[in-house]
Amino acid sequence: MKTDVLIIGAGAAGLMCAIAAGRRGRRVLVVDHANKPGKKILMSGGGRCNFTNLGVAPACYLSANPHFAKSALARYTPADFIALVEKHRIAWHEKEQGQLFCDESSKLIVRMLLDECAAAGARVETSCAVERVRKTEEGFAVLTVRGEVHAESLVVATGGLSIPSMGATGFGYALARQFGHAVRPTRAGLVPLTLSGKHLERYQDLAGVALPQAGARVGKRAFRAGLLFTHRGLSGPAILQISSYWQPGDDLRLDLAPDAEAADWLPAQRAARPAAELKNVLADLLPRRLAQRLCEVWFGSRPMRQYREAELREIGHRLHDWPVVASGTEGYRTAEVTLGGVDTDGLSSSTMQSKRVPGLYFVGEVVDVTGWLGGYNFQWAWASGHAAGEAA
């Protein structure tokens, strides 16, 4: 069979690309080996899909080339996607920090994309695995389990490696290499961090203890959001965010009380309540179980009058600059995204087209562009998919 544009991957980027190309009158076929389209959209945002972020800017993305995402992001913006959502009367709200969610269900976003595909004449076939791709004179011959498809343009929208149980494969990277593209080393991003040995033993039984606000810092990069102790280490949005910037051996620091000036506050508490035990005073700043544990392991817990002012200042400074020795990450099994991927040097930033092989495009997470937590990754999928769909 023949088509103008064949898209491999019916996820966020592939479906958006299909809509844009179909609207231009191109015959479009999307194939996906999974049994339904948009599985990651369905599971995203706790089932409500954090579909974009009002604060989207190129600086919110990690890539070997920090300029690469600029063009596509500027030409398909959060406002463009919101207009689409509103056209389909999907109710949405801003949760915090510019993060936009559906009021009801992620299913509505997948429905919207499929309806738009249908309106643009783009066909979507699921349970259709791709076995082989070869270059032909007119374009590409793609062998699928349902037969060979000939297409002028081929768009690779196969996503990253995270959550293999949802259909993630390394297929897009293999295809990139087949056509001579470099692939930057991949690793799990937006992922919980693990502790081991004595570091784990100290905090393991705090699993479930949460800080509504904490700072997490690696070098000059810092995030402030919630933090959660788990059975294996640390999670919560602040940890997920910093995980994309952390590599084994890096020095990770936490601010356990970012709203306080603990180095001044503790001496003031000594004056105000000299008989109170340190662990009870700290429980005003931190979850009680954490305050108690820090005292057991590090500070002791005596009446405040028994600490020198300098000691209390030192403890205060420590709370704002707490060193964590992470041993690793939870890996692709739970990661929201995959860092690295198809090297942007080989792609046009305005169309996502290969500079090596005309007619070949890479969009979405398979490309070496990874966003922060909070709707940034979908916005990259929409924007890069749209850019390719305008050109393919």
Residues that bind ligand FDA (CB under 6 A): 8-14, 31-34, 39-40, 43-45, 49-50, 129-130, 157-159, 162-163, 167, 169, 171, 336-337, 364-365, 375-378, 381
User: Token pair for residue 281?
Assistant: 């005073």
Nearest approach, Cβ of residue 110 and ligand FDA (Å): 10
Compare residues 126 and 348 and give the one whose CB is closer to ligand FDA: 126
Nearest approach, Cβ of residue 85 and ligand FDA (Å): 14
Residue 44 Cα to chain centre, angstroms: 10
Compare residues 19 and 262 and give the one whose CB is closer to ligand FDA: 19
Nearest approach, Cβ of residue 24 and ligand FDA (Å): 20
The answer to whether the CB of 232 falls within 8 A of the CB of 194 is yes
The C-alpha atoms of residue 392 and residue 386 are separated, in whole angstroms, by 10
Residue 220 CB contacts under 8 Å (≥ 6 apart), including other chains: none
Nearest approach, Cβ of residue 260 and ligand FDA (Å): 31
Compare residues 292 and 354 and give the one whose CB is closer to ligand FDA: 354
For tokens 């809509």, the residue is 19
Query: Three-state DSSP class for 40?
Result: helix
Compare residues 120 and 175 and give the one whose CB is closer to ligand FDA: 175
Compare residues 130 and 294 and give the one whose CB is closer to ligand FDA: 130
Nearest approach, Cβ of residue 342 and ligand FDA (Å): 11
Q: Where are the alpha helices (DSSP H) in the chain?
A: 12-23, 39-43, 70-75, 78-87, 107-119, 171-178, 197-203, 237-243, 262-272, 278-282, 288-294, 309-320, 376-389
The answer to whether the CB of 117 falls within 8 A of the CB of 22 is yes
Compare residues 203 and 376 and give the one whose CB is closer to ligand FDA: 376
Compare residues 50 and 194 and give the one whose CB is closer to ligand FDA: 50
Nearest approach, Cβ of residue 288 and ligand FDA (Å): 31
Please spell the DSSP secondary structure of 178-196, one letter per residue. Answer: HTT--EEEEEEES--EE--
Nearest approach, Cβ of residue 147 and ligand FDA (Å): 15
Please spell the DSSP secondary structure of 281-320, one letter per residue. Answer: HHTTTS-HHHHHHHIIIII---BGGGS-HHHHHHHHHHHH
For tokens 């940890």, the residue is 239
For tokens 């799990």, the residue is 188
Please spell the DSSP secondary structure of 168-180, one letter per residue. Answer: --SHHHHHHHHTT
Residue nearest to ligand FDA (CB): 11
Nearest approach, Cβ of residue 48 and ligand FDA (Å): 8
The answer to whether the CB of 47 falls within 8 A of the CB of 108 is no
CA neighbor of 375 nearest in space, from 27, 51, 60, 11: 51
Compare residues 157 and 347 and give the one whose CB is closer to ligand FDA: 157
Compare residues 50 and 344 and give the one whose CB is closer to ligand FDA: 50
Nearest approach, Cβ of residue 67 and ligand FDA (Å): 20
